[in-house]
């Protein structure tokens, strides 16, 4: 499982010209589900993201987590994070879980974030989405669970 997280002051997802999800202060989480991912990866990544200290304290230093600042999460499934681009000119997505497996795992990830008391919005799995954000910082991190396998 791989996630690109961006600290935002605002983010939203539009599908067919309609806003389907929107948050203010928090994290935009672009989530890629890899073949073989399961409950272990979901729990680890959700806990890591919610508790990662990447928000400023009163002195302007990274010392507060999403939970500490009472921020929200906007989770958007993005299989292209697992694209292998090293060979040729067209990325290969062999590492990505097939939609029938990925969709419920994304749902479980959303539930895990919600269990950690984070208000959560989501994009629509498999839809063509327009994602907009105001990156606060900018602060962006890439996290993965490769070391768990």
Residues taking part in catalysis: 78-80
Q: Are 23 and 11 in contact (CB under 8 A)?
A: yes
CA 74 to chain centre: 7
Q: How is residue 143 written in tokens? A: 């996290």
Torsion of CA 22, 114, 7, 58, to 10 degrees: 120
Length of the chain: 149
What are the E-state strand segments in 38-112? 55-56, 62-64, 72-77
Residue among 144, 12, 123 at smallest CA distance from 78: 123
Distance CA 14, CA 123 (A): 8
């Amino acid at each position: 499982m791989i996630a690109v997280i961006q600290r935002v002051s605002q983010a939203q997802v539009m599908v067919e010209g309609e806003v389907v999800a929107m948050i203010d202060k928090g994290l935009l989480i672009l989530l890629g589900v890899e073949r073989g991912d399961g409950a272990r990866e979901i729990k680890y990544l959700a806990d890591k993201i919610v508790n990662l200290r990447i928000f400023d304290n009163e002195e302007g230093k990274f010392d507060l987590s999403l939970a500490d600042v009472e921020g929200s999460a906007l989770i958007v499934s993005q299989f292209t994070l697992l694209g292998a681009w090293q060979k040729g000119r067209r990325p290969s997505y062999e590492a990505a879980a097939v939609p029938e497996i990925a969709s419920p795992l994304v749902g479980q990830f959303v539930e895990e974030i919600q269990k950690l008391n984070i208000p959560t919005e989501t994009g629509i799995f498999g839809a063509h989405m327009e994602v907009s954000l105001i990156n606060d910082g900018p602060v962006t991190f890439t996290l993965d669970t490769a070391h768990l396998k």
